[in-house]
Amino acid sequence: MILITGAAGFIGFHVASKLLKQGLSVIGIDNMNDYYDVSLKNARLAQLKKNKHFTFYKGNIADPKAIEKLRDKHKNDISFILHLAAQAGVRYSLENPMAYCESNLTGHMQMLELARYQTENTTHFRHFVYASSSSVYGGNKKQPFAADDPVENPVSLYAATKRSGEILTQSYANLYNIPSTGLRFFTVYGPYGRPDMAYFSFTKNILEEKPITVFNNGNMRRDFTWIDDCVDGIISAVNTPPKNGKSPYCLHGAPHRIFNLGNNKPEQLIDFVNIIEQAADKRATIDMLDHMMPGDVIETYADIAPAQKILKYAPKTPIAEGLPKFVEWYKEFYKSQNKL
């Protein structure tokens, strides 16, 4: 059985859905916070709850009592932990930094302690897999970003907390021999996505004939990853724990490794906007600004060779195919909600 934190979140929902369709049992936990529209989280969760093999707990992963209660009830069930819960968003970290400390630091530690408990007290625990972020690369100039590049210069608090999670996991893998894998996601997009992401807000505003804001005169490139490709990589990672610290790509002799999950193809932001316009059949009104947002970076570009080799990761969805699918989902979903 697999425990998924952030199960009502964008990526957690899609991973849980696929695992349930494969006939596996999933335990989900999510605090259902209001960082963005909770109705979207409720819609995801409602779909998951239709499956009898899904068990859900509403709770905060940073709350030790909540995690102890879950652990005591399911310690004989949990063989895998997929830790996806986090306070996301670079810009929001400027407004509410303590939310990032609670979720991304304290919450991560609680999950590591759960993995430690399962490792020391059961014989069936197999793997701790967690979400990191392409944000950890900060202002690195070398392209593409490789998992073994130096990442000690975060340009946002969000990036700093995600890098801290990687370091904390390295220490636990060293100390307690916990098979662990970190996944650095590169701008994952798709149906039921996060409304704070550019592709979501651009689609919303273009369809509603409202202006969109583009920073740095549009001189930005992103390695956009379609959700189905990302989910395939995550599930492969879960099923491929490092056997020991000598497994390929393990870090400093500990059973811990980190992979990039991206599309290995940066796209110009303006091309991205043009595809949404075509799919929406509407022209965008663009407020073009010449500065960058604090904590933002000009380009992301994933080196996915290790993930291709070990996880057989094979992203295949370009934005010319993925974005129209998202726009179609958006129109159907919000029409059904009487919001379009």
Confidence band of 217 (pLDDT split at 50, 70, 90): confident
Please tell me the predicted confidence (pLDDT) of residue 294: 78
Which of these, 331, 88, 304, lies nearest to 203 by C-alpha position? 331
Is the confidence at residue 174, as pLDDT, over 90? yes
DSSP-derived secondary structure letter, 293 = P
User: Region 229-237: what's the mean pLDDT?
Assistant: 98
Query: pTM of the predicted model, to two decimals?
Result: 0.95
Summarised one tens digit per residue, pLDDT across range 87-119 is 998 888 888 999 999 999 999 999 999 999 999
Alpha-carbon distance of 269 to 276, in angstroms, equals 11
Identify whether the C-beta of residue 12 lies closer than 8 Å to the C-beta of residue 90: no
Written in H, E and C, the secondary structure of 161-205 is: HHHHHHHHHHHHHHHHCCCEEEEEECCEECCCCCCCCHHHHHHHH
Which among 36, 117, 158, 313 is annotated as catalytic? Answer: 158
Please tell me the predicted confidence (pLDDT) of residue 254: 97
What superfamily does domain 2-189+226-262+301-316 belong to in CATH?
Answer: NAD(P)-binding Rossmann-like Domain (3.40.50.720)
**Which tokens in the block code for residue 317?**
């969805």
Please tell me the predicted confidence (pLDDT) of residue 220: 86
Please tell me the predicted confidence (pLDDT) of residue 340: 63
Please tell me the predicted confidence (pLDDT) of residue 326: 97
Domain range list for the chain: 2-189+226-262+301-316
Total residue count of the chain as it appears in this document: 340
Summarised one tens digit per residue, pLDDT across range 43-72 is 999 999 999 999 999 999 999 999 999 999
Summarised one tens digit per residue, pLDDT across range 81-94 is 999 999 998 888 88
Q: Higher-confidence residue: 220 or 161?
A: 161
Is the confidence at residue 184, as pLDDT, over 70? yes
The per-residue pLDDT of the chain, averaged, comes to 94
Q: How many CB atoms lie within 10 A of CB 201?
A: 15
Q: How far is CA 296 from the centre of its chain?
A: 17
Is the confidence at residue 234, as pLDDT, over 80? yes
Summarised one tens digit per residue, pLDDT across range 278-302 is 999 999 999 988 888 777 788 888 9
158 is catalytic: yes
